[in-house]
Amino acid sequence: MTIGFIGLGHMGGPMAANLVKARHVVRGFDLAQPLMDEARSKGITACASLAEAVAGADTVITMLPAGKHVLSVWQELLALVPSGTLLIDCSTIDIDSARGAHDMAAAKGCPSLDAPVSGGTGGATAGTLTFMIGGERDVFAKSQPIFEAMGKKIIHCGGMAAGQAAKICNNMILGISMIAVGEAFVLGEKLGLSHQALFDVASVSSGQCWSLTTYCPVPGPVPTSPANNDYKPGFAGALMLKDLKLSQAAAQSAGAVTPLGAKAAELYALFNELGNDGKDFSGIINMLRQQSGDTA
């Protein structure tokens, strides 16, 4: 298959490289020239423009920062590709933009999927991403081999924008649960409880969750968590704030009451304002500890 791939950043670069490994022809384009040089070294055909990248492509994938980028790139590329070309957006974007992108594609007679991912840059490189997919089931079924080249778990969530809905609901749980785990460790410290003792109990009790057992925000109990590596991301505070803001915009327009999601968005906004946007989101425990008058 010939695939046009637009946006070769932290996620898109390794995802496109995995498509090459699966023997697809990948024609890549990014506005950043250094990324084009890197793409070339991974077997991606480095194209000088969007038009060049989508020329002759059966499928076009976008992996871009936000909804406005996706809408503008899809508008441009829909003027270039023939009807019937499959369009897949893997970016994390707001629900309204995702619906708008599907509508634009349908008007041109192009099947389309929203397919945001989780698994971070590690998952993108290893080809173990989880894809959450919105769009028609038969379009999803036909595109399975593309997703299998880049991910391990591929879940059809429903009609258009259902993938984005699943992504922001999941990440709202993640943001809230990381704050909850951080608060528990800070309270435990105040009560004289060791990190390991709290971990040993909560990880096998009803407090068990991914933020604790896979991504523990204190060094020690889970050696692979970013807490053991000076909170280097992983998943940066800026991206968590982005996703929480998307969840709150969606909650507002859909009329859902999400008080803990709103509080998590507020706390991550403060975390970012304090200069932690480049730190892993689990580092919010340090802000909670400082607010409690303690240092690490």
Between CA 60 and CA 28 the distance in angstroms is 10
Between CA 286 and CA 296 the distance in angstroms is 7
Token pair, residue 86, equals 């499959």
**What pairs with residue 5 in β-bridges?**
28, 61
**What pairs with residue 236 in β-bridges?**
280
Shortest-Cβ-distance residue relative to ligand NAD: 9
Q: Which range of residues in 28-36, 95-103, 198-206, 212-220 is near ligand NAD by CB under 6 A? A: 28-36
Q: Does 7 bind ligand NAD (CB under 6 A)?
A: yes
The single residue of 167, 232, 263, 279 carrying the catalytic annotation is 167
Tell me the CA distances in angstroms from 27 to 17, 43, 111, 240, one per residue in order. 11, 10, 20, 30
Between CA 224 and CA 295 the distance in angstroms is 23
- What residues have CB less than 8 Å from 290, skipping those under 6 apart? none
CA 223 to chain centre: 23
Q: Which one, 29 or 199, has the nearer CB to ligand NAD?
A: 29
The answer to whether residues 167 and 118 touch, using CB atoms and an 8 Å cutoff, is yes
Q: Does 29 bind ligand NAD (CB under 6 A)?
A: yes
The answer to whether residues 268 and 241 touch, using CB atoms and an 8 Å cutoff, is yes
Q: Which one, 6 or 287, has the nearer CB to ligand NAD?
A: 6
Q: Which range of residues in 8-16, 20-28, 272-280, 288-296 is near ligand NAD by CB under 6 A? A: 8-16
- C-alpha distance across the termini of the chain, in Å: 52
**Burial environment of residue 207 by CB neighbours within 10 A (0 to 12, 13 to 18, 19 or more):** middle
Site for ligand NAD in 175-234 (CB under 6 A): none
Q: Examine the residue annotation and report whether 153 is marked as an active-site residue of this protein.
A: no
DSSP codes of every residue in 8-70: -STTHHHHHHHHHHTT-EEEEE-S-HHHHHHHHHTT-EE-SSHHHHHTT-SEEEE--SSHHHH
Q: Which range of residues in 25-33, 130-138, 178-186, 208-216 is near ligand NAD by CB under 6 A? A: 25-33
Binding mask 223-252 for ligand NAD (x = CB under 6 A): ------------x---x--x----------
Binding mask 85-104 for ligand NAD (x = CB under 6 A): ------xx------------
Q: Which one, 220 or 278, has the nearer CB to ligand NAD?
A: 278
For the CB of residue 91, give the shortest distance to ligand NAD in the complex, in Å: 4
The helix or strand, by DSSP H or E, that contains position 2, with its residue range, turns out to be strand 2-6
Q: Which range of residues in 112-120, 131-139, 268-276, 288-296 is near ligand NAD by CB under 6 A? A: 112-120
Binding mask 120-159 for ligand NAD (x = CB under 6 A): xx--------------------------------------
Q: Which positions are annotated as active-site residues?
A: 167
For ligand NAD, the binding residues (CB under 6 A) are 6-12, 29-32, 35, 63-65, 69, 73, 91-92, 117-118, 120-121, 235, 239, 242
